[in-house]
Amino acid sequence: MQPTNFVWHYTVGTRLPAIAESGLLIPARSLHATASLGVLWFSRQQTWEPSTARTGWKRHPAARSAFPEKDGVFRFGLPASDIRLVPWPSVTRLADIDIPEAMAMVSAGLRRGGTPTDWLGVLAQVPLTELRFQRWDGAAWLDARLGEIDLEALAAMRPAASPEQGKRVPVPTLRGGAVHDVH
C-alpha cells in the first residue's frame, strides 16, 4: 500500500457499535496504567499496527485471512499534519504515563512486531466527522461508511467482560464508547 498523509487508529468490528453510539474516538487508559490521562492511539503504519493485535491471528496466514470475515478490521484516519498528534515518547510525558508503564508498552509492542516511533497519541476526543473511515476486505483497505456496517450484528458478537486476574473488569457502557484499542 502506498503511504498516505494519514495516521491510523486500528480497531475491530466489535468495537464499532460503541464508537458509532458515541460519535467520537475517545482517549482510553490502559486497565493497568497509572496514567492520569487517556490516550487515543494512532499509528504511521499503513497496513496494520502490530501492537494492537491481542491474539496470534497476525502470525498465521490462515487466521489472518479469516479474521476480517469474523468481525472485521477497520481503521479511522486522521491527517498526519493534525496539530493534536503527539509523537512517542513525548505523548507519554504529556499523558503522565510513568516510565515503567511506558517501557511495558514498548516491550509488548516490540514483541508483537510494532515500532514505537510509529505511535502517536491524541489527548482529546476526536469526532468521527473529522476522520476517514476504512474497512479491510482481506486484501486492501477500502473507504467505507460507518452507517453501512451492520452494527447490531457486531454488537451481538462482542463478548461480555470477564474476570481478569481475579478482579472483576467493569463493562463499559455504549456512552463510555471508546474504551477500545489500547496498546
Instruction: Kindly state whether residue 98 falls inside one of the protein's structural domains.
Output: yes
Burial of 61 (0-12, 13-18, 19+ CB in 10 A): exposed
Instruction: Kindly state whether residue 179 falls inside one of the protein's structural domains.
Output: no
Instruction: Kindly state whether residue 92 falls inside one of the protein's structural domains.
Output: yes
pLDDT of 74 reads 94
pLDDT of 167 reads 36
Residue (of 55, 21, 11) closest to 128 by Cα position: 21
113-150 burial, b at 16+ Cβ within 10 Å, e below that, comes to: ebbbebbbbbeeebeeeebebbbbeeeebeebebeebe
Assessment of whether the complete model's pTM goes beyond 0.75: yes
Q: How many domains does the chain have?
A: 1
DSSP code per residue over 123-168: SS-EEGGGSEEEEE-SSSEEE--GGGS-HHHHHHHSPPP--BTTBP
Instruction: State the CB neighbour count (10 A cutoff) for residue 19.
Output: 24
Instruction: Kindly state whether residue 181 falls inside one of the protein's structural domains.
Output: no
3-state secondary structure at position 120: strand
Beta carbons of 182 and 29 less than 8 angstroms apart: yes
Instruction: Kindly state whether residue 174 falls inside one of the protein's structural domains.
Output: no
Tens of pLDDT along 91-114?
999 998 888 889 999 999 999 899
Q: Is the pLDDT of residue 182 over 50?
A: no
pLDDT of 128 reads 98
Range of the domain at 133: 6-150
Instruction: Kindly state whether residue 76 falls inside one of the protein's structural domains.
Output: yes
Instruction: Kindly state whether residue 177 falls inside one of the protein's structural domains.
Output: no
Instruction: Kindly state whether residue 35 falls inside one of the protein's structural domains.
Output: yes
Tens of pLDDT along 104-150?
999 999 998 999 999 999 999 999 999 999 999 888 999 999 988 88
Average confidence score pLDDT of the chain:
78
